[in-house]
Amino acid sequence: MTRARIDYVWIATFAVLVTFAVPWFLWGDSRVFAGLPLWLWWHIGWMGLTAVVFHLFTRRAWDRGIVDGVR
């Protein structure tokens, strides 16, 4: 992939991470699992996933869009 293409992939990834930190598809859902609402479990899991993706970003794409000529 070209450099610009990879930039767009990361921007899209971040957009997805922001968008689904709130489980919109569970709107109005009141199912409970182990004492907490299902939608809260989704959020907790999603934040864990976000941390992993952020870690990958720091390893593979840090400086992207900020310092020219790196990678």
Residue 9 touching other proteins (CB under 8 A): no
Q: Which two tokens stand for residue 49?
A: 């996933």
Q: Which two tokens stand for residue 69?
A: 């000529």
Residue 4 touching other proteins (CB under 8 A): no
Name which position in 8, 9, 60, 70 contacts other proteins (CB under 8 A).
70
Binding residues for other proteins, rule: CB under 8 A, are 14, 17-18, 21-24, 26-30, 32, 34-37, 39-40, 43-44, 47-48, 50-51, 54-55, 57-58, 62-63, 66-68, 70
